[in-house]
C-alpha cells in the first residue's frame, strides 16, 4: 500500500502541474475573445426543444443582438444556447460558444463562429462575465440559476460595473422575484431594497435587446445607482473585475469615484 505521506506529496505535485492546465484555459479564452467587441452573455436551458416557442424566441434574441452590433456568448450547447447562437450566426454576427467537458457529453451546436472548450467551470465563468456588456436569462435549470445569482452578486458587491440583467418570461421568473421580495427582503432582510432593482423581467426579447442597447449607449443602468466606491474598488483586474478595498487596510477607501468611470 502506498505510504500516505508519499501519496500526499504526489497529490501536491499533481496540483502544482494542474495550475498550468488552468493557466492555459485562461490564456486560450483571453486570446480568442479579447477583440470580440461589445457582447451579451445569454443563458437558458439545454433541454429546450428546437421549434418550440421558447427556442424560436431565443433565435430572435440572437438575431436582434447581432443586428444591433453585439456578439452573443452562450455555453455552446443545445437548447436555448443553440437557438441564440443560431440567430446570431444566421444574421452574420459573432456567435461565441463556451463549451464545457462533462461526464455526460455536451454536444456543441453548429452555429458558433468562435468556439472554445473548457475543463473548469470557474475559468468558463470568468469568460462569461469578462466580455459581457449585459446578461439575458431565459428559463433554465440549476446552471441558469447559478449564473443569474452570480451576476447579481458581482453587481451587488460592486465587483463588476453595473450592467443590465434581463430575465425573459414573467411566468418563469415572476415567482422567484416574489419570493426574493417576501423572504429575502421583507422577512429576513438579507438584501436591500435597491437589490431588487438589479434585474428586470420582460416577456419581449425585443424589449430586452433595447434595454441592453440603451444601457450601453448612454449608461442608463437599470434602477438606482449603487453607492460610490473608492479608487481601489474602481481599479480593474485582468479578469474584468474591480480590485476592491483591502479588508486589512480600510483607509485605502478615503476617496471615492463613480463605479463606471474606467481608468
CATH number at residue 55: 3.40.50.450
11 within some domain:
no
Secondary structure (H, E, C), the chain: CCCHHHHHHHHHHHHHHHHHHHHHHHHHHHHHHCCCCCEEEEECCCCCCCCCHHHHHHHHHHHHHHHCCCEEEECCCCCHHHHHHHHHHHCCCCEEEEEECCCCCCCCCCCCCEEEEECCHHHHHHHHHHCCCCEEECCCCHHHHHHHHHHHHHHHCCCCCCCCEEEECHHHHHHHHHHHHHHHHHHCCCCCHHHHHCCEEECCHHHHHHHHHHHHHHCCCCCCCCCCECHHHHCECCCCCECCCCCCCHHHHCCCECCCCCC
Query: Is the domain of 167 the same as that of 61?
Result: yes
Which tops the pLDDT comparison, 5 or 137?
137
* Band of pLDDT at residue 262, cut at 50, 70 and 90: very low
pLDDT digits (tens, 9 = 90+) for 183-199: 999 999 999 999 999 99
What average pLDDT does this structure show over 13-28?
A: 89
- Give kind and range of the element (H or E) at residue 116: strand 114-118
245 and 126 part of one domain: no
**Do 245 and 214 have their domain in common?**
no
How many Cβ atoms from other residues are within 10 Å of residue 92's Cβ? 10
Residue of 119, 128, 137 lying closest to 44 (CA atoms): 137
What average pLDDT score do residues 223-228 get?
55
Residue 10: inside a domain: no
Please count the other Cβ atoms lying within 10 Å of the Cβ belonging to residue 98: 27
Q: Does 235 map to a domain?
A: yes
Considering the domain architecture, whether residues 215 and 253 belong to the same structural domain is answered as no
> Is 221:164 a contact under the CB 8 Å cutoff?
yes
Which of 44-53, 98-107, 114-123, 180-189 has the weakest average pLDDT?
A: 98-107
- pLDDT value of position 85: 98
Asked if 88 and 25 sit in the same domain, the reply is yes
pLDDT in tens, 90-111: 999 999 999 999 998 678 999 9
| In a domain? residue 35 | yes
Residue 5 lies in a domain: no
**Is there a single domain that holds both residue 82 and residue 135?**
yes
For 165, phi and psi rounded to 5 degrees?
-120, 110
Range of the domain at 172: 18-226
Q: What mean pLDDT do residues 14-41 have?
A: 94
Q: Tell me, yes or no, whether 60 lies in a domain.
A: yes
On whether both 220 and 235 belong to a single domain, the answer is: no
**Whole-number average pLDDT of the chain:** 88
pLDDT value for 104: 81
Same domain, 222 and 254: no
Within-domain flag for 7: no
Q: State whether 234 and 120 are in the same domain.
A: no
152 shares its domain with 35: yes
Residues 177 and 187 both lie in one domain:
yes
Report if residue 259 sits inside a domain: yes
pLDDT of residue 232: 58
Task: Indicate if 175 and 254 belong to the same structural domain.
Answer: no
Q: How many domains does the chain have?
A: 2
Amino acid at each position: 500500500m502506498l505510504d500516505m505521506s508519499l501519496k500526499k506529496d504526489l497529490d501536491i505535485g499533481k496540483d502544482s502541474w494542474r495550475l498550468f492546465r488552468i493557466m492555459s484555459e485562461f490564456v486560450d479564452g483571453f486570446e480568442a475573445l479579447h477583440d470580440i467587441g461589445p457582447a451579451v452573455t445569454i443563458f437558458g436551458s439545454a433541454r429546450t426543444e428546437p421549434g418550440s416557442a421558447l427556442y424560436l424566441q431565443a433565435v430572435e434574441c440572437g438575431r436582434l443582438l447581432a443586428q444591433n452590433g453585439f456578439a452573443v456568448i452562450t455555453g455552446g450547447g443545445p437548447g436555448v444556447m443553440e437557438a441564440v447562437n443560431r440567430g446570431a450566426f444566421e444574421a452574420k454576427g459573432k456567435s461565441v460558444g463556451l463549451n464545457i467537458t462533462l461526464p455526460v457529453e455536451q454536444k456543441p451546436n453548429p452555429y458558433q463562429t468562435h468556439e472554445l472548450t473548457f475543463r473548469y467551470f470557474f475559468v468558463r465563468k470568468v469568460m462569461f462575465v469578462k466580455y459581457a456588456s449585459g446578461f439575458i436569462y431565459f428559463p433554465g435549470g440549476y446552471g441558469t440559476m447559478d449564473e443569474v445569482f452570480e451576476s447579481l452578486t458581482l453587481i451587488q458587491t460592486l465587483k463588476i460595473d453595473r450592467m443590465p440583467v434581463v430575465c425573459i418570461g414573467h411566468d418563469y421568473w415572476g415567482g422567484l422575484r416574489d419570493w426574493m421580495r417576501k423572504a429575502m427582503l421583507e422577512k429576513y432582510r438579507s438584501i436591500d431594497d435597491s437589490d431588487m432593482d438589479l434585474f428586470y423581467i420582460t416577456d419581449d426579447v425585443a424589449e430586452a435587446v433595447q434595454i441592453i442597447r440603451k444601457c450601453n449607449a448612454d449608461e442608463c443602468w437599470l434602477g438606482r445607482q449603487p453607492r460610490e466606491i473608492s479608487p481601489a474598488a474602481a481599479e480593474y483586474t485582468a479578469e474584468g473585475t474591480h480590485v476592491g478595498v483591502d479588508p486589512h487596510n480600510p483607509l485605502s477607501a478615503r476617496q471615492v469615484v463613480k463605479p463606471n468611470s474606467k481608468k
